[in-house]
A and B are shown apart, each in its own frame.
Chain A
Amino acid sequence: MPANFTSAADLIRFLPEIILTIMGTLLMVLDPILNRRSSYAFGHLSIFALIVALGGSVYAYTQAGPAFGGLLVVDGFATFFRVLVIVVGILTILPSYRFLQRQDAETSEFHALLLFSVAGQCLMAASGDLIMVFIGLEISSISSYVLAGYLRDDKRANESALKYFLLGSFATAFFLYGVALIYGTTGTINLAAVRTAISGQNAPEPVIIAVAAALMFVGLGFKVSAAPFQMWAPDVYQGAPTPVTAFLSAGPKAAAFAVFLRIFMTAFDPVGGDWWPLVWGSALLSMTIGNFAALLQSNVKRMMAYSSIAHAGYVLVALTARSDVGTAAAMFYLAAYAFMNVGAFAVIGHLSGKGERYQNLDDFAGLAEKQPLTAAMLTIFMLSLIGVPLTGGFFGKFYIFKAALESHLVWLTVLGLLNSAVAAYYYLRILVMMYMHEPSDAASKVEPLSLGLRAALILPAIGTLFLGIFPGWVLDFAGKSSTLVR
């Protein structure tokens, strides 16, 4: 360990987290000064903070390299996920202006917690050491628990927060047990060093590494809501305030996958032969459970929760491929998924009305007649979730299954494609409702689009289409950075 531990370059590589933390704290300090009634100020400030942090992440990338003695690793992979979670943060705040106002619940704390959560996720994306993974994960998780239960007087939100919290802590304990075993056998928790120790001359007993990998898989499987650890997701997603649900399904999930990929592709890569059947099974189970359960739901938020389980399954297919191509495909897919899912949830939140009464499939009836723009945007997101060409979802699935085929996972590919076909049914059901039915109660009462909401619908739609029409740019970057530090 060098004597001058903190260098300027280290701080630059740590810039996004610094910005987000300072701005989060500042928001709470400014709370009494900013007038409560002109309460858009909090939202504006958070968006400003996130945009600055976005700049910070890009600037940090110009100084790419390990920081703080290997605790952080700022590479293309980290930057990709940092940018992704920050964008998700922005796209969460845009629709929540109106949403929070409607529920009469605008406070600085909501935005501060959101910023802290994003900071935690940035940390996860850039951590090169299991202790940083753990602390970043906890910052992200604890603020998410509170955000899920933010509307405290709503029974559903309570339940959501409680389940998220209990299952999340349970998962953390499993993850930590895995870390303990890794520490015990290799004497280090630095991912690169673990890799060296595992593949070196006197490698430890493979049994222990396998058990450690399995325990970490359980912990992270909970966080990304992969089957068989998915049971919390439907209740949590349904009960949480809709903008928060959008956030949970995109931000923490992407960050957890970033950690997943980094740990399994860096540290556990040498023992890949031992863990891939586990991921294979989980991927198939997630896709199947997610898609078939989604068919049965009448509540749209719950349906989207199951759909999010299924999408976690697709990303796990990419992980099963155990190749750089697979990693790049997973990165691309997570970006596409973030756009389409956050956009879809923005529509759901917009329609749900005060107290989130309208969440059922029937409530979407006739939306196209009342609000063509909203319906059109939702159509783009749904088509992308199905995986129709010209949308980001299509290329996401395409690259994932291509990577799977290159790694000779024929069966998984076939079953995954069958699954996507099943999924088309429940997404199309919403479109049929919107375009083919008489306006429902909810659709007639729907408010005009505010500016924030307009942005919250159009920006993800642009993102989705951009990824669908020019996938090359993002994919090139993902491909370049998918070779993780080894």
Chain B
Amino acid sequence: MSGVPISWYLTLSAILFTLGVAGFLFRRNIITVFMSIELMLNAVNLSFIAFSYRLQQVNGHLIAFFVMVVAAAEAAVGLAIILTVFKNRQTLNIDEIDSMKN
């Protein structure tokens, strides 16, 4: 068994999640913003695996697997949406994509 206590894994996961949140909120480039979401999902998966290992179940592995499937689906649709935005506006700056305020 691993000699690394679970709280280390959880701390790592929490830091990674916070990094993702920070990237999502601070960055202007939409692709980087989307990559931050991937960081957050990986942080979550890391928690699932750590818990699963400690609980001696494979359920956590399966949930993490479904999270990956969903991430793939989201990436396909999300990048398609990002491409249409770029095609119409020639920019991927989140501050400039703001045409509907009064």
Contact = CB atoms under 8 A, between A and B. Distances in A.
Interface of A: 131, 134-135, 138, 142, 145-146, 149, 152-153, 155-156, 158-159, 161-163, 165-166, 169-170, 172-173, 176-177, 179-181, 183-184, 187-189, 234-235, 238-239, 296-299, 302
A351 to B, nearest CB: 19
B48 A183 contact: yes
Point out which of B10, B34, B67, B73 has the most chain A C-beta atoms below 10 A from its C-beta. Answer: B67
A302 B102 CA distance: 9
Nearest to A235: B100
Given A162-B85, A180-B47, A135 B30 contact: no
A149 B48 contact: no
A177 B102 contact: no
Interface of B: 10, 17, 20, 24, 30, 33-34, 37, 40-41, 43-44, 47-48, 50-52, 54-55, 57, 59-60, 62-63, 66-67, 70, 73-74, 77-78, 81-82, 84-85, 88-89, 97-100, 102
A450 B63 CA distance: 48
B48 A162 contact: no
Nearest to A179: B63
Given A135-B70, A166-B33, A159 B47 contact: no
B40 A161 contact: no
A3 B84 CA distance: 48
Given A135-B66, A146-B77, A149-B81, A176 B97 contact: no
B89 to A, nearest CB: 7
Contacts of A302: 100, 102
Contacts of B59: 183, 188-189
Contacts of A146: 77, 81
B73 A142 contact: yes
A105 to B, nearest CB: 14
A187 B100 contact: no
A162 B30 contact: yes
Nearest to B71: A169
B88 A153 contact: yes
A158 B89 contact: yes
Contacts of A187: 55, 57
Given A134-B70, A166-B33, A177-B40, 19 more contacts: A145-B77, A145-B81, A152-B84, A161-B85, A162-B30, A162-B85, A165-B74, A166-B34, A170-B40, A172-B70, A173-B17, A179-B63, A180-B47, A183-B60, A183-B63, A187-B55, A187-B57, A189-B63, A298-B102
A177 B39 CA distance: 12
B100 A142 contact: no
A169 B97 CA distance: 18
A184 B81 contact: no
Contacts of A134: 66-67, 70
A212 to B, nearest CB: 11
A158 B89 CA distance: 10
B102 A166 contact: no
A176 B67 contact: yes
B30 A166 contact: yes
Given A165-B81, A170-B24, A158 B88 contact: yes
Contacts of A179: 44, 63
9 contacts: A138-B70, A165-B77, A165-B81, A172-B74, A173-B44, A183-B48, A184-B10, A184-B54, A187-B57
A195 B59 CA distance: 18
Nearest to A169: B37
A180 B73 CA distance: 20
Contacts of A131: 62-63, 66
Contact of A162 (B43, B73, B81): B81
Contacts of A298: 102
Q: Which 5 pairs of residues, A with B, have the shortest CB-CB distance?
A: A184-B51, A173-B40, A180-B47, A176-B44, A158-B85
Nearest to A238: B100
B84 A156 contact: no
A177 B34 CA distance: 17
Contact of A169 (B17, B78, B89, B99): B78
Nearest to B17: A177
Contact of B37 (A149, A162, A170, A183): A170
Contacts of B17: 173, 177
Nearest to A166: B33
